[in-house]
Amino acid sequence: MALDTETPLNSLGFAKPPSETRVVVAMSGGVDSSVVAAYLADQGYDVVGVTLQLYDHGAALAKKGACCAGIDIHDARRVAEERGFPHYVLDYENIFKDAVIDEFADSYLAGATPVPCIRCNERVKFKDLLGTAKDLEADCMATGHYIQRKLGPNGPELHCAEDANRDQSYFLFSTTPEQLDYLRFPLGHLPSKGATRVLAAQYGLAVADKPDSQDICFVPNGNYASVIEKLRPGAAEPGEIVHADGRVLGAHDGVIHYTIGQRRGLGIGGLSEPLYVVKLDVDRQQVVVGPKEMLATRTVPVREINWLGDEPFTSRPEWHLSVKVRSTRPPREAVVRPLSDTTAEVELLTPEEGVSPGQACVFYETGGSRIFGGGWIWRGY
């Protein structure tokens, strides 16, 4: 099964033999990046595997379901040894803490719902690691992400993965045109994760049946609050649960335990109507609840926009695109109105519930597969 057919040159797009084409493969120790490395080595490329040590493993040394823990480094090294290419482990703990973990904690404390995996791709993998790949004189860097890089009339374009269930475009919207020129995603056109595991079995990889990572790597068992309390002692200040009409309904043990749109676990049962978290007021230490219709949002302020269109973002007063405001939701039609090169107001044609500051708003071609970038949702003041 071929993995990349996007150019008539070698499979990575270079006019030279694979043996003269050096490619750094970002290896997490999982099946996806292991298949990419094994495939490229099998094709005769000059492969260099690199794994990032991102955080203090501690109890996570043998934890299942999280990337980049100690066992994952071992698995990546084993693939490299078996396939006969060099493998390096880079200690990025300080970079990762400064660029990803600290902002994650601060964002949660500010009442936002951050997406640290996007920041990790943007600030660590596709910045520092990509720079390391260039230092190693690699022609390109390949990853196991499920997304497609296609050559358009104006250069490389970012497109959704063939398998919509595996598509990771939401987490990669901040990839810049310069990074896209250097990156390769050999798995993006595969029909399913099953096809990846078939290839892993064909290559005899021990990780062929390894479970997918589920959690954010530094958040064991998805317990955000416990991580933030360790990072920011005293963060879980108690306060009131307040109805949008001003009534005090109960007490909470920290705003960080709640997210916009949450219904369960509020501890305010016995009311005649179902209530949802509609606002987190950090300054007053209040969790504000209200009826479901209060969650509906039509206008979304977006900043830190990374634009991947062929024309400048501000060259039009508005762009008719589709947008995702959460990773788990399908793109919905919207009008994106630029306010500057990096800020915009997004009007959703159909209101969305639970739009939350700290999440990404990713721009898609309506009815097509191309990604036009995106930005970060904020409060707009």
Whether 120 is catalytic is yes
**pLDDT-derived band at 1, boundaries 50, 70, 90:** low
Does 207 or 67 have the greater pLDDT score?
207
Q: What local confidence, expressed as pLDDT, does residue 230 receive?
A: 84
Closest C-alpha among 303, 311, 300 to residue 354: 300
Q: What is the pLDDT of residues 24-35, one digit of tens each?
A: 999 999 999 999
Q: What is the pLDDT of residues 74-105, one digit of tens each?
A: 999 999 999 999 999 999 989 999 999 999 98
Bind-site residues for ATP: 26-33, 52, 144
The C-alpha atoms of residue 364 and residue 374 are separated, in whole angstroms, by: 9
Residue 268 buriedness (CB in 10 A; 0-12 / 13-18 / 19+): middle
Bind-site residues: 26-33, 52, 144
Report the predicted TM-score, pTM, of the whole model to 2 decimal places.
0.89
Residue 305 buriedness (CB in 10 A; 0-12 / 13-18 / 19+): buried
Residues ≥6 apart with Cβ < 8 Å to 254:
225, 229, 235, 236, 237, 238, 239
Q: Which of 67, 68, 117, 217 is catalytic?
A: 217
Whether 67 is catalytic is no
Q: Which of 120, 140, 160, 361 is catalytic?
A: 120
Q: What local confidence, expressed as pLDDT, does residue 311 receive?
A: 97
> Do 43 and 11 touch, CB atoms closer than 8 A?
yes
